[in-house]
Amino acid sequence: MLYNSAMDQILFFIFFFYGLAFVGLGIAMLLESGRSPALAEARLLRPLAVFGLIHGVHEWLEAYLIQAVSLGVEMPAWLPWGRLVMLVASFIPLFIYAILALLQSSPRNPRIGILHISGFGLYAGLLLLSAWQAYGDGPIPWLTLLDNLSRYLMAFPAAMLAALALNAQSRSVRQAGRHTLSDAFRLTAIAFGIYAISQLFVGRSEMFPASVMNKDSFIAIAGFPVQVVRAAMAAAISFGLVRGAQVVEQERKVQFQAMQQARLEALEQRDALRRDLLRHTVKAQEDERARIARELHDETAQMLSAISLDLASLNTVLPGRLEAQGLIDRLQGTCKEMSKGIYSLVHELRPAQLDVLGLSSALSVWTERDCCSKGLKVTMRVDGEERRLEPDIETVFFRVMQEALANVTRHAGVMEAELVLQYLPDQVIMQVSDAGRGFDPAVEYSPPRGWGLAGMRERAEAAGGKLRVRSAPGQGTSIEVVIPIPPIEKGV
């Protein structure tokens, strides 16, 4: 068919846009197939991507051929045949996509499959018979004949099957409540259906139906080339599938956010469970310490006192025996030392001042007696209105103080420290600081180094508080514990 120069230019731009739409579709589907297969399985998207890329390049080659003929450029004889091979090759992956998508979206019924195959066989047989008869009646250029047959036997059924597959996918996702994605699939299905029908308007030849339904008859009826419809449908197909990919991407984001939220909630639940477990562990430890302290005080200490009294009685029974009296004196001294040791151990396990006098008094007694015996001078200050706290919270502050001052004695290189206890309306803050050698808190120490800080942090977190460590080499160390006061404590 010959076109004038103006029509050739129009067709050139139509084919260029036509090819651009399908190449864009191919690239978009290829990228989507490498991501999470939510729009469709990757095995479905890849054939669709191959169709878009090959068919888009075919349309660009068509535009080149039109421009070359219009300008009178001599072309290789094989180039039009290469265009035909590319046309056929482009619709093979579209066939594969359509069949796989139909198998995935529709229930597998062997009878329906046989019916479809039989119908297509009859359709193809009639077309081939028509072509054979037309070719027998008069010479038909092989290029035109094969181009028409490729559109009848490949382009039309492949595009129509793709339309049916996308329509089935549209119904499926609509039943799942994904209406926006369903609309995108339905638009693409309609565009593929119209695109399939447009493939029936082929180059004019003597075979039926090309003798009646062809490109010339379409121009005579519509007033513009059928390629305009194909280019418009190519744009609609690309828009529909890209829109579907965008919808799926938005769904991915929503799912990802939901997963992140669920993960955060799970982490929060795990942290809450961890805090409860730590709280119960610390309470069990303190209860066990209190029990051991009571047994040492009530039983072992009393037994040592009874032994000391019996030794005193024995000393009066054996007067004048110097060897026996010396032995009794040594035994009485040993009993006294054991009593002092047991008293110190009982006080270490559970200081009575903490239960009787409260936190600030227990801290004061400890720093004045135990720290001074180790040579450490502690300056203590209490800010705010003193009040009793929950026993578990008071125990946390006391144990952190013990560990912090022990660290000062062992590591700081100084024998002075400051202890500040601050009562606020909604929280209590305790700070132990020194001007010693300090350290780098960011350094991870291998066990057993660092266990003291880890134990203090776990105790603070078990009580719902936080432990802050401020230190630097040569600039001293500050250990701060902040624990919120439970609501029942606010009015106390």
**Residues 479 and 467: beta-carbon distance below 8 Å:** yes
Q: Which residues contact 387 (CB under 8 A, 6 or more apart)?
A: 423, 489, 492
Over its C-alpha atoms, the chain yields an Rg (Å, rounded) of: 46
Q: 């795990």: which residue's tokens?
A: 270
The CATH T-level fold of domain 5-265 is Rhopdopsin 7-helix transmembrane proteins (1.20.1070)
Strands 416-423 and 377-383, by their bridges, are: parallel
Q: Which amino acid is at 144?
A: T
390 dihedral zone (left: phi>0; alpha: psi -120 to 50; beta): beta
pLDDT at 36: 52
**Residues 476 and 469: beta-carbon distance below 8 Å:** no
pLDDT at 411: 86
**How large is the average pLDDT for residues 438-463?**
77
- Average pLDDT for the chain: 81
Q: What is the DSSP string of 1-65?
A: ----HHHHHHHHHHHHHHHHHHHHHHHHHHHHHTS-TTSS-HHHHHHHHHHHHHHHHHHHHHHHH
What burial class does residue 456 get, using C-beta atoms within 10 Å of its C-beta: 0-12 exposed, 13-18 middle, 19+ buried? buried
Q: Which residues contact 43 (CB under 8 A, 6 or more apart)?
A: 100
**The pair of three-digit structure tokens given for residue 433, joined into one six-digit string:** 């600081």
CATH 3.30.565.10 in the chain is located at: 354-490
Q: Which amino acid is at 161?
A: L
- Sign of the C-alpha dihedral, residues 213, 217, 221, 226? positive
Give tens-digit pLDDT for 387-411. Answer: 888 888 888 898 899 889 888 988 8
Find how far residue 269's CA is from the centre of its chain.
Answer: 18
Q: What is the reported pTM?
A: 0.58
**What is the SS3 assignment for 138?**
coil
The helix-helix angle for 391-407 and 226-295 (nearest 10°) equals 90
Give tens-digit pLDDT for 159-182. Answer: 999 998 888 888 888 888 888 888
CATH 1.20.1070 in the chain is located at: 5-265
**How large is the average pLDDT for residues 424-442?**
90
User: Between 3.40.50.300, 3.40.50.10710, 3.30.565.10, 3.30.420.40, what CATH number should domain 354-490 receive?
Assistant: 3.30.565.10
On the question of pLDDT at 2 being above 60, the answer is no
Q: What is the largest CA-CA distance in the chain?
A: 154
Sheet-wide strand order for 416-423: 377-383, 416-423, 427-434, 477-484, 466-471
On the question of pLDDT at 29 being above 70, the answer is yes
**Residues 436 and 411: beta-carbon distance below 8 Å:** yes
